[in-house]
Structure 1
C-alpha cells in the first residue's frame, strides 16, 4: 500500500477542510504546519517515508503563506541529501477571490517539487465550463495543475462549497491511483 502525506498550512480553516478532503480521497495522513511555520514532532520523518507528498497552502498575496514558505525553506535539508527525489508530488490552494492568483501558488508548489526531483501529478479533470455549469460543480474554478477552491472572505470554513471539496477529494483519489501505478 502507498503512503501518502498531505502537508499543509491553513490560516482560517478553509485550507484545512480542503486538506481533509484531499486526504479522504487519497487515504492519506494529514501533516499540519503550525501557525509558526513548524511541523510537529516526527513530521520530517513522515515526509521522508512517504511515496507521495501533497502540498497545500492558502493563496496570500499571490503565493503561499509565510508559514508554508518557512516549511519550504526548511526542506533544503532533505533537498541537500535528495531524500524526496522521485517521490510523487501534487498541490492545492484556496483563496477568497475567484482567480486570486491561485495559479501562482500552484506554480510555487510545482517548482518546489521539481527542486526536490519529484514527479508532479495534476488535477486530471476537465473544468465545468459549459453554459449549464453551476458554481457548485466539480472543478468549476477551472484548474489543471492542482486543486483550487474559492471561499468568500466573509465565509467561514464550514461554508465551503461541496463542489470545491469534492474536487479536492477526487484529486486525492487521482494522486492515490497514480501513486499505486507509479510504485508497481
Structure 2
C-alpha cells in the first residue's frame, strides 16, 4: 500500500463529569495532551452531553473516561453515563476502540483506584482496549518531590488530588495536570499506531 495513503488522523473523545471544577481542569489537561499529537482531534463532552451524542462517540477512535471519586466510586452523574452505555454493549459499537481514564479526589488515595477499576471493567464489557498511564511512580524516594509526574503512584490511569478547601483555580497541582496531559498524549499516540496498523494490515 502507498505510504501516503495511510490514515494518520484520529479522533479522541474525552467524556467526563466534574462536580466542583477540579476534574474539569484535569480533563482540560488530558485534552492538551491529545492535541500535542499531530493529526489528533478531540471530542470534549460532559457525561451528560455524551448521552445525546452516541453517534459522535461511535466514530471516535478512542474514548477517555474521567470522573471525581466520591465515597470510593465514580460520581453519580458519571455512573449514569456508564449505565446508559448498555445500548452500546448490545450493539458492539465501541468494540476495539481505545479506552483510558482519569480521576480526582480530595485525599491522596481517596480510593481512586476503585474508580479507575470501574472504568477498566466498563471498557472490557464494551470490548475496548485499555491504555495504562505508562509512568513509573514519582515522589517515592527521599530525593523526590511533589513536582514529579505521577506523584500519587497510579498505574491504571491518571490520578489527581485536590484539597477539599481549595478551589479549581488552585488545585489540582501542576504535577497532576502534567500527568493527565501525559495520559492524553499517550492515548493519542497508541490510538494512532492502532489506526495505522488497521489500515496497513
- TM class by smaller structure: over 0.9
The two structures have a TM-score, normalised by structure 1, of: 0.95
> How far apart, in 2, do the equivalents of 1:41 and 1:62 lie?
24
Q: 2:175 aligns with which of 160, 163, 168?
A: 163
**Which residue is 2:11 aligned to?**
3
> How far apart, in 1, do the equivalents of 2:193 and 2:182 lie?
17
**Which residue is 2:3 aligned to?**
none
**Which residue is 1:131 aligned to?**
142
> How far apart, in 1, do the equivalents of 2:127 and 2:10 lie?
19
Q: 1:24 aligns with which of 29, 32, 42?
A: 32
**Which residue is 1:50 aligned to?**
60
**Displaced runs of 4 or more, over 3 A:** none
**Which residue is 1:148 aligned to?**
159
The alpha-carbon deviation at position 135 of structure 1 amounts to 1.4
The alpha-carbon deviation at position 133 of structure 1 amounts to 1.3
Q: Which has the larger radius of gyration?
A: 2
> How far apart, in 2, do the equivalents of 1:183 and 1:47 lie?
16
**Alpha carbons of structure 1 residues 40 and 56: separation in structure 2 relative to 1, 3 Å:** closer
2:98 is the alignment partner of 1:82: no
**RMSD in angstroms over aligned alpha carbons?**
1.1
**Which residue is 1:172 aligned to?**
184
**Which residue is 1:118 aligned to?**
128
The two structures have a TM-score, normalised by structure 2, of: 0.87
- The alignment of Structure 1 onto Structure 2 pairs a total of residues equal to 180
Q: For 1:159, what is the secondary structure of its paired residue?
A: coil
